[in-house]
Structure 1
Amino acid sequence: MASSRDRQRKLARAKLDRQLARRAARTRRRRQIQAGVGAAVVLVLIVAGSAWALGAFDSDPKQDTAAEDVCLWTPQDATANTNLKDVGTPATKGLPTSGTRALTVTTNQGAPITAELDLASAPCAGASIAHLASKGFYDNTKCHEITSEGALRCGDPSGTGLGGPTYSFYDENVPVAPEASPSASPAPDEPPAYPKGTVAMIANPPGANGSQFLIFFKDFDPDKPAYPVIGKVTGGLDVVTKIGALPTVDNGSGAKVKPKTDVVIQSLTVGEPSTAPAPAPSGASASPSAG
């Protein structure tokens, strides 16, 4: 009799354990469903919030997602200035704005002159020179002036100082002159605005840059810097210095600034953008000031 009751108790206990197990399983499933629904709601809210922040619900999404212009090119009238040469214009969007581009100038005066164009400080100058180089714009042209500031002036196919492409662009990275203070003496280690080896744009009129550039073969530190710095010489600075020492003759305007010996750019090439930082000018003690 006792064994029969024991068997009934065991059966009842087993039945209760099964009921409790099923109840616990249902509870776990309900909690999992609730957790899944909650996570889905949170995900929807996050996606919706991100889309709202990015302007997905704006009335004109195309306007917000369109690529921004990096550079603007101002058309120049070739009929008013016959020294201009039309080779099209560079792109305005998708231009590199960091890193450097290698510039190589091969002349009839010796080893090639190499430089790095600073795309972070002067992206439009870099884009313009790369575009012109790809069109052979600089090839077989003369560097028409040795300036009184100590620079070789090149990049004008007409050799007049008035030539260039049929577009212009604004100044970038013009060094800032230090503020004069009557009570403070100038710092003896202050670098010049244009150290030897600096590559800069030069425009006529100022601010309407085209194709002409300067390569400084000595330090130049004006009271009011005006030339946009676009890069630094990395090799061949001795060639630039040698050219700077050439005798000059009248360029036709009464100014003895034209090299007596023709300085011909046989080719000018620009490499692909690089993320490497721009090196200091070869032979220079300091880099140009930031504009």
Structure 2
Amino acid sequence: MTRTRSGAARAAVAGVGVALLLTACSGDPDDGSATSTSSTAASAPTSAPSLSDFPALPAQRAEPLPDTVSCAYPSDGRPAAKPVQPPRAEAVPTTDTDVTVATTQGDIGLALRGELSPCTVGSFLSLASQGYFDDTDCHRLTTDPTLSVLQCGDPTATGTGGPGYEFANEFPTDQYAAGDPQAQNPMIYPRGTLAMANAGPGTNGSQFFLVYGDSILPPQYTVFGTIDETGLATLDEIAAAGVDGGGPDGPPAAPTTLTAVRTD
């Protein structure tokens, strides 16, 4: 999934055979802070890909992180969709945290994995504590067989909003050396994955996507948590209602608003 950057930030989330436009502060799947330039989506292959053709996303880092890390959250040069302060950048813990995202369609429980992507988790928790996600609509549902995601985290519900800062990709992108062509090879982001939308490396902001069906993407979208069974049941109901106006990609027909994010 890739995101565009300009005043109308759009993220082209390209799986293998489907292009998903996701917006974010800066990052591929929409994170809510992107401005829009133009992004190009991968061309559809001549034959539909099969999930069995792709490797699974790794479950863990090759080497564990220390107990705390330093992060960087520089300005992205755009106004925040809601007034917020950047997260703490020093002594960020690499611990896991459980949260519940309350929505108008039901609760979605998340296990935020600080041992994988601590800077992403730190940003998400900071935004949640400031009420950034409260009363915001999930603006994009994709129901393609190879890309099944719900995208949220943009207070403007346009795919262009973000927190006014951006940060680097973490797991699994950082498991590859710079310039390694393997980092562009699609793999399976399994059902139950929580990941960041972006418009390219280092452009993560506030938009994130929830994977309710195994999806094919290059390892360029930071994974920072998993979705519990209750949350997956909620997502299945949203997906079953389809996309507003029909088709495989667009606003969910079952309007889904995040009402609060609570730490469990």
Normalised by the size of structure 1, how large is the TM-score?
Answer: 0.58
Amino acid in the other structure paired with 1:227:
Y
Amino acid in the other structure paired with 1:93:
E
Confirm or deny that 1:109 pairs with 2:102: no
- Out of 155, 171, 174, the residue aligned to residue 173 of structure 1 is 171
User: What residue in structure 2 maps to residue 185 of structure 1?
Assistant: none
* Distance in 2 separating the partners of 1:229 and 1:172: 8
How many residues in Structure 1 have an aligned counterpart in Structure 2? 185
Q: Which has the higher contact order (CA 8 A, sep 6+)?
A: 2
CA RMSD between the two structures? 2.7
Between structure 1 and structure 2, the one with the greater Rg is: 1
* Distance in 1 separating the partners of 2:228 and 2:165: 29
- Out of 81, 85, 89, the residue aligned to residue 86 of structure 2 is 89
User: What residue in structure 2 maps to residue 19 of structure 1?
Assistant: none
- The 3-state SS of whatever aligns with 1:131 is helix
- The 3-state SS of whatever aligns with 2:125 is helix
Q: More strand by proportion, 1 or 2?
A: 2
Structure 1 gap segments, 5+ residues each: 1-67, 181-191, 272-291
- The 3-state SS of whatever aligns with 2:236 is helix
Is the alpha carbon distance of 1:204 and 1:160 closer, same or farther for their aligned partners in structure 2, counting shifts above 3 Å?
farther
Q: Is the 8 A contact 2:69 2:93 kept in 1?
A: no
Deviation at 1:202, TM superposition (A): 0.5
Deviation at 1:205, TM superposition (A): 4.6
- The 3-state SS of whatever aligns with 1:249 is coil
Q: Is the 8 A contact 1:133 1:270 kept in 2?
A: no
Deviation at 1:255, TM superposition (A): 8.5
Confirm or deny that 1:145 pairs with 2:140: yes
* Distance in 1 separating the partners of 2:198 and 2:83: 17
- The 3-state SS of whatever aligns with 1:150 is strand
Q: Deviations over 1:171-210 (max 9, x none)?
A: 0113679x99xxxxxxxxxxx6311000001023553111
User: What residue in structure 1 maps to residue 210 of structure 2?
Assistant: 215
* Distance in 2 separating the partners of 1:208 and 1:89: 15
Confirm or deny that 1:127 pairs with 2:122: yes
* Distance in 2 separating the partners of 1:250 and 1:70: 44
Q: Is the 8 A contact 1:248 1:258 kept in 2?
A: yes
Q: Is the 8 A contact 1:78 1:85 kept in 2?
A: no
Q: Is the 8 A contact 2:168 2:201 kept in 1?
A: no
How do 1:220-231 and structure 2 match up within 5 A?
A: 220-222=215-217, 224-231=218-225
Amino acid in the other structure paired with 2:93:
P
Amino acid in the other structure paired with 1:263:
T
Amino acid in the other structure paired with 1:230:
F
* Distance in 1 separating the partners of 2:241 and 2:200: 27
Q: Is the 8 A contact 1:115 1:235 kept in 2?
A: no
Deviation at 1:250, TM superposition (A): 5.6
Normalised by the size of structure 2, how large is the TM-score?
Answer: 0.63
Deviation at 1:268, TM superposition (A): 1.3
Deviation at 1:261, TM superposition (A): 2.6
Amino acid in the other structure paired with 2:226:
K
Q: Is the 8 A contact 1:104 1:113 kept in 2?
A: yes
- Out of 71, 96, 116, the residue aligned to residue 100 of structure 1 is 96
Q: Is the 8 A contact 2:238 2:254 kept in 1?
A: no
- The 3-state SS of whatever aligns with 2:210 is strand
* Distance in 1 separating the partners of 2:249 and 2:118: 34
User: What residue in structure 2 maps to residue 45 of structure 1?
Assistant: none
Q: More helix by proportion, 1 or 2?
A: 1
Structure 2 gap segments, 5+ residues each: 1-67
Q: Deviations over 1:203-242 (max 9, x none)?
A: 23553111111111100133x2321111111232111111
Q: Is the 8 A contact 1:130 1:269 kept in 2?
A: no
Amino acid in the other structure paired with 2:81:
L
* Distance in 1 separating the partners of 2:161 and 2:81: 5
